[in-house]
Amino acid sequence: MNSMTGFGRAGIKKKEYKMDVELAAVNSRFLEPIFRMPRVMAQFENQARDLIGKHLNRGKITVTVNLEESPEAFASSLLNQKAAVAYYHQLVELKKKLKLPGEIEIGHVLAHPDLLSSHDEGLDQSRLWGDFEKILLQALKELQDMRNAEGRHLQKEMTTRLKKVDGLVTRLEKRSPVTVAAYKARLVKRIKDLGEGVDVNESRLAEEVTVFADRADVTEECTRLRSHISQFLATLKQDGDAGKRLNFILQEMSREANTISSKSVSTDTSTYAIELKEEVEKLREQAQNIE
């Protein structure tokens, strides 16, 4: 079982350039790679997306690529001298024609976008992708290791929390008969307090207590909760993707917890029901981060 959060980093240094890749992952319903890389590498986005899809299933993955070219790479930039001379003469003629003040400087000439060939063009695209693929795989490995470690930690925490949920279910089951008995005792006392010599109609009393017991009974909800707990624990132990199934089970557990809360007729059962809802909500928050 893997978490969806993690970080991975890898880099490579060549004569022509230095490249670093960083992966930062957070939870998401789907796999969402987001790329931040130099323009010269934008053509590799689809290939990188496919590569990530082979190793990850869910999560928002921010891929940051830094490319620093060496002085040798910049040296490959070439100035088109003939075009520069022609452009200079055009600027001189324009200056005279418009009667503009000042002198034509080298900066004005080099500002023309077509005089310098892009140093990007000097990079071997095949080698660039090969290096990018290599360090992307390394960063993915580090990211997966971190997500796996976090997943094991979440698995342990959620198992502990499930035991607490199971304990609350046990308390609710044990408290239910006590609550009914206490209600019957209060009802009898109230009838007797109405006046001396008032007889208790046992048949009517039994009917009233039965209605109350039925309204307050949480046996079915507790039984279903135990079933959900078993399914949850089994899913935690399975290999592969578990997040979506865990979230589905927790929806059902939350429904049962809300029903129990609505049936609470005593301070104790209300307290247990609130604690139960809190624990299920904490489990839900943790499950949101499972791949």
In terms of pTM, does the model score above 0.75? no
Q: Where are the domains of the chain?
A: 6-73+123-146, 79-110, 149-287
The third-level CATH classification (topology) of the domain covering 6-73+123-146 is Ribosomal Protein S5; domain 2 (3.30.230)
- 89 confidence band (pLDDT: 50, 70, 90): confident
pLDDT of residue 75: 47
Q: Three-state SS string across 253-287, please?
A: HHHHHHHHHHHCCCHHHHHHHHHHHHHHHHHHHHH
Which of 89-93, 253-257, 265-269, 271-275 shows the lowest per-residue confidence on average (mean pLDDT)? 265-269
Maximum average pLDDT range among 82-91, 116-125, 128-137: 128-137
Q: At what angle do helices 125-193 and 219-237 cross, to 10 degrees?
A: 160
Tens digit of pLDDT for each residue in 6-53? 999 999 998 888 999 999 999 998 999 999 999 889 999 999 999 999
Tell whether the model's pLDDT for residue 135 goes beyond 90.
Answer: yes
Position with higher pLDDT, 192 vs 239: 239
Residue range 67-76: average pLDDT? 65
Which of 59-63, 109-113, 184-188, 227-231 shows the lowest per-residue confidence on average (mean pLDDT)? 184-188
Query: Can you tell me which residue has the tokens 């000439």?
Result: 109
Can you say how many angstroms the Cα of residue 74 is from the centroid of all Cα atoms in its chain?
Answer: 41
